[in-house]
Chains A and B, each alone.
Chain A
Amino acid sequence: AQSVAQPEDQVNVAEGNPLTVKCTYSVSGNPYLFWYVQYPNRGLQFLLKYITGDNLVKGSYGFEAEFNKSQTSFHLKKPSALVSDSALYFCAVMEWPLDMRFGAGTRLTVKP
């Protein structure tokens, strides 16, 4: 079965600094990878996805993710963090054509 792992429960960065939220995957075949964000008391919101093509994927709110096949990683990045980026971030892999398998989540805190 497909799976993803988020090795960090918590990531803290200072506002204005670059941020990285890590994700590694385990799939058979080509992966369909996603990042979602969850703000307090809200559902998950789609940020970006990788299906095929360019290894650097750009998404919403200035986020991007880099697909690395040799390292089986799909890390989420942003060049300059904002306090408003503080949220819970989930990496996911789609087990086509059915459902998503989610990581445990990483809580990002951006401090002023």
Chain B
Amino acid sequence: NAGVTQTPKFRVLKTGQSMTLLCAQDMNHEYMYWYRQDPGMGLRLIHYSVGEGTTAKGEVPDGYNVSRLKKQNFLLGLESAAPSQTSVYFCASRGETQYFGPGTRLLVL
């Protein structure tokens, strides 16, 4: 039982490049979330999903897209990366509480 996993762990992008962050959970949870963590700002919700095939915007959705084609996977995409998207990204799924992945550090130059 791996819980919540994220790939990659670290990535460097140039401005304008695209990438996809993958989140996988093996706990059969319906709800999944993508957060970004920035110093002094805690975690802010980017997008979330309440089930396979559904997604919704969170607090800071601009510049990101998501997909939930399979229940266990939740993908976060950056179509055209900007330096403001330099952050640590966390995925979570919700059972009795939220279970977090180990995070992806993204640096946009």
Contacts and interface: CB of A to CB of B under 8 A. Distances in A.
Contacts of B99: 46
A100 B102 contact: no
A5 to B, nearest CB: 10
Interface stretch (B12-20, B39-47, B67-75, B77-85): B39-47
A31 interface: no
Contacts of A45: 100
The bracket for how many chain B residues form the interface is 20 to 34
A53 interface: no
Interface residues of A, number: 18
B90 A104 contact: no
19 contacts: A9-B40, A41-B102, A42-B102, A43-B4, A44-B43, A44-B98, A46-B97, A46-B99, A49-B97, A98-B31, A98-B48, A99-B48, A100-B43, A100-B45, A102-B44, A104-B41, A104-B42, A105-B40, A105-B42
Interface of A: 9, 34, 36, 41-46, 49, 90, 98-100, 102-105
